[in-house]
Amino acid sequence: MTNWQSARQARDARLEAGARIANGKIVAVHDATRLLEAVMRPGDKVCLEGDNQKQADLLCAALLAVDVSKVNSLHMVQSGVVLPEHLDVFDRGVAKKLDYAYSGPQAARIATMLFGGKIELGAVHTYLELFARYFIDLTPNVALIVAVSADRDGNLYTGPNTEDTPTIVEATAFKDGIVIAQVNEIVERVPRVDIPADRVHFVVEAGKPFFVEPLFTRDPSAITETQILTAMLALKGVYAPYGVRRLNHGIGFSTAAIELLLPTYGERLGLKGKIATHFALNPHPALIPAIESGWVTQIHSFGSEVGMEDYIRARPDVYFTGPDGSLRSHRAFCQVAGHYACDMFIGSTLQIDLQGNSSTVTTARIAGFGGAPNMGADARGRRHPSEPWILAGREANPDSPAPLRRGRKLVVQIGETFGEKNAPLFVEKLDAISLAEKLNLELAPVMIYGDDVTHIITEEGIANLLLCRSPSEREQAIRGVAGYTDVGRRRDKNEVQRLRERGVIRRPEDLGIDPLDADRNMLAARSIKDLVRWSGGLYAPPSKFRSW
């Protein structure tokens, strides 16, 4: 006779073992490792937060300290591999297999460990892809999550950095998994209930704040004149003609420059109220001047940003906030918003090939993708029209009948032709392809596929790939904005000139932009201190960004 309760019975056995260590749901800090040894089994799928900003650092340390004879060969299914300890668990044999989405700070070490056979790689995912698999074939047996506070019943308050927590808990708790929360403190009453107590099995009070990375803060003093030039090209050559109001900005100084040009150069172009009003975006401090100038109507966020808490609390008309006044971020919902509700994604990358494929993966660094492939992908399931979407679709396919013509999301890659350490942005072959060959991967870790990319912007100009009518035109359009890289120097000058005459390639002078006008005085804020002033003293930047 079939036992339809086997998973629940296994969960109950784990709960019973953990209950011997707990006082109700509360577990003392010094017993955290014992708790994990009690509820985990070899080979378990374990989700550890592990976001790209907030980290369950105490539970990670507890996991690293387990007896390997009791807990081993775990399959880690976490969105962010950020802390050194996230990889130390593989060195110790606690964990064996990894499925993840983002690993910026640990990118080089992940590459070394993959090549050395220390990690068995499942896949490098996008955020939405990994979240989706939590509900299909990567459902966690145990979830180690993090929150600001809990009451004694186990109700959790996540504060501004909710991030991935609801998605992780939903998948785990409703499929007979164990949810363990690290919290800064236990209180009588949480400010708001972000995760209900019946989905939380154990709570460990850390007694100190969890680690949060200020990942989206860009110091305006580091923005270069070349980045200002590319920002000017973006605003006049893409934002303005398409009338882009709903969008996502990637991380980087190029997009920070755009944000800081909105109240100055954007104002001069008469674009206020016509572009950049609705964002799927973390609370970028560089956007403060545009918010204060009345450009931005609404922002929904994946996570929060250190130091922006008081500013967000004072601007509830712009941000999504709870009754306690703090931000309610949600990575899964915001990824969906960026994929389906936004008309444009604009961001940077490390390499672009001749087909427009881009990747942040090199042979020495496997940084993962985060949300860029979801933000920077044409949403084939989209059905609602908007002016930018329709216009882009018409440019890509002018001969199809209008009622059946698909619109197109604008996917823009922006950067300088030579990046950090003089590495060329444009290459004949992505390092991601070489990496796949070395590791015998079935699928190369390409971040954004070329057929999704609509525009490439460099200091040399804009390549509108929507207007290309053949692979050879596309290649020459890319070469035409590749500058003095090897790729750029191999352009067909006559073909590039023809593409320029058709408006496929547009140089700064074609847009009436003088590169000599790209001056740091154009920025609405030229330092972190300027951003604090714009905020009326509400923005409290982390100490590493303070120079006064």
pLDDT tens figures, 38-81: 999 999 999 999 998 999 999 999 999 999 999 999 999 999 99
The predicted structure's pLDDT at residue 242? 98
Query: SS3 of 515, please?
Result: helix
Q: Contact, 192 vs 484, CB < 8 A? A: no
Give me the amino acid identity at 398: P
Note the helical H segments in 301-355: 309-313, 331-336
The predicted structure's pLDDT at residue 254? 96
Residue range(s) occupied by CATH 3.40.1080.10 in the chain: 14-212
The predicted structure's pLDDT at residue 78? 96
The predicted structure's pLDDT at residue 76? 98
CA distance 462 to 12: 60
Per-residue pLDDT reduced to its tens digit, 220-257: 999 999 999 999 999 999 999 999 999 999 989 999 99
Cα–Cα distance list, 194 to 148, 170, 197, 508 (Å): 10, 12, 10, 49
Q: Contact, 356 vs 320, CB < 8 A? A: no
Cα–Cα distance list, 520 to 220, 226, 302, 410 (Å): 9, 10, 30, 28
The predicted structure's pLDDT at residue 438? 85
Q: Name the CA radius of gyration of the chain, rounded.
A: 24
Query: SS3 of 238, please?
Result: helix
DSSP letter for 23, please: B
Measured over all CA atoms, what is the biggest interatomic distance in the chain, rounded to whole angstroms? 80
Residue ranges of the chain with pLDDT lower than 70?
none
The predicted structure's pLDDT at residue 37? 98
Backbone CA torsion sign across 307, 345, 359, 86? positive
The predicted structure's pLDDT at residue 353? 97
Residue 169 has which token pair? 């808990």
Count CB-CB contacts under 10 A for residue 163.
Answer: 30
Domain 14-212, classified CATH 1.20.120.450, yes or no: no
CA distance 191 to 151: 10
Domain 343-506, classified CATH 2.40.128, yes or no: no
Q: Which strand ranges, in their side-by-side order, compose the sheet holding 344-347? A: 298-300, 278-280, 246-249, 344-347, 410-414, 455-458, 461-464, 505-506
Q: Contact, 115 vs 439, CB < 8 A? A: yes
The predicted structure's pLDDT at residue 421? 86
